[in-house]
Amino acid sequence: MKKLMEMGFCNREQNQLLNKHNPDLDKVLIELAGGAEAWIIGDNKTMTLIDIHETVGDTVTTTYQYWPDGISVTRGRELIYSDPNSGTVNIVRHGKSETLITAPRGWVPRRLCCTRAGDILVHMYNGAGPQSKKKIIRYQGQNIKEEINKDGQGNRILKDGDNALFISENNNGDVSVSDLNADTVVVVDNTGKVRFRYNGTQARREKSFDPRDIVTDALSQIIVADINNNCVHILDQNAQFLICVEDCELKYLSGLSVHSEGRLWVGCDKGEIKVIKYLEQS
């Protein structure tokens, strides 16, 4: 049986530091592609597959003006990425990119999440600045299956604004959203109803909650990076705060990805990637 490490503090002997001080990357997004491999991308046009020993595998370089805004990996371990320039979500097959999804007219894709059932969740935005609208579209293949946008009373679930949303689907079908415009985690059930919101107050951190990437693990726990407090919050699937993972020299957290064996990959400042053992066998 797996359980959280006591107190949430790091045992540095069980953790690893990868990609240390990579001058070519700033903020790092991470997506695991298997037990010991992950795709990473920073503020450049190249997505790189690395393993836990820092061995570099495949690389994919886009030809567009800007770098991809979101990456994920399908059930078949194929890399997908969003391209805001062309308004598409692309898939990499045999080293070449193909268009998988084209955004609806007026909308632009950003962050992505591939679900266990094979669907793709895409954060879309319309407009710029404080009035920029947000929604999440669930695609089954190239077809729209669901839109997460408004509640039963017609109120917007996600706050308008220029910042991105990070998305993860839990084992129970809930969609967890890190809403940077509201500094809040929003969890929506499989009917589109808001189950709860989390604003970080339970964690009693020194500074205000400023969420970034979000993932869910094999125990259905919700794990979210907090860039203001240089830590990672862990909640259960019903919004109960459990611990903060801290004391790991985490700074300017940007990307998260989690492995079923209890290893959390964390992208930090200057291209650093830290692999943290946060679960243990009891």
Asked whether the CA dihedral 206, 211, 213, 215 is positive or negative, the reply is positive
User: Residue 273: pLDDT band by 50, 70, 90 thresholds?
Assistant: confident
Please give the share of the chain, as a percent, with pLDDT higher than 70: 88
Summarize the confidence of residues 70-81 as an average pLDDT. Answer: 93
Evaluate if residue 1 carries a pLDDT over 50. Answer: no
Least confident of 195-204, 217-226, 261-270: 261-270
**Which range is least confidently modeled, 130-139, 230-239, 270-279?**
270-279
Mean pLDDT computed over 174-190? 96
Count Cβ atoms below 10 Å from residue 22 Cβ, excluding itself: 16
Q: Band of the pLDDT at 87, cuts 50, 70, 90?
A: very high
Check whether 26 has a pLDDT greater than 90.
no
Neighbours of 143 (CB within 10 A): 8
Q: Are 213 and 166 within 8 A, CB to CB?
A: yes
Is the pLDDT reported for residue 165 higher than 90? Answer: yes
What pLDDT does residue 11 have? 47
- pLDDT above 90 covers a percentage of the chain that reads 54
Q: Is the pLDDT of residue 281 over 70?
A: no
Closest to 89 in 3D by CA, of 51, 141, 14: 141
User: In whole angstroms, how far apart are CA 96 and each of 39, 61, 105, 136, 277?
Assistant: 16, 10, 25, 27, 34
- Structure confidence at residue 282 (pLDDT): 58
Mean pLDDT, the chain, rounded, equals 86
Provide the pLDDT confidence category of residue 152 given band limits of 50, 70 and 90: confident
User: Does residue 220 contact residue 234 with C-beta atoms inside 8 Å?
Assistant: no
Check residue 226 and give its pLDDT.
95
Statement: residue 178 has pLDDT above 70: yes
What are the structural domains, with CATH classification, of the chain?
2-281 (2.120.10.30)
Q: Tell me what pLDDT residue 236 has.
A: 96
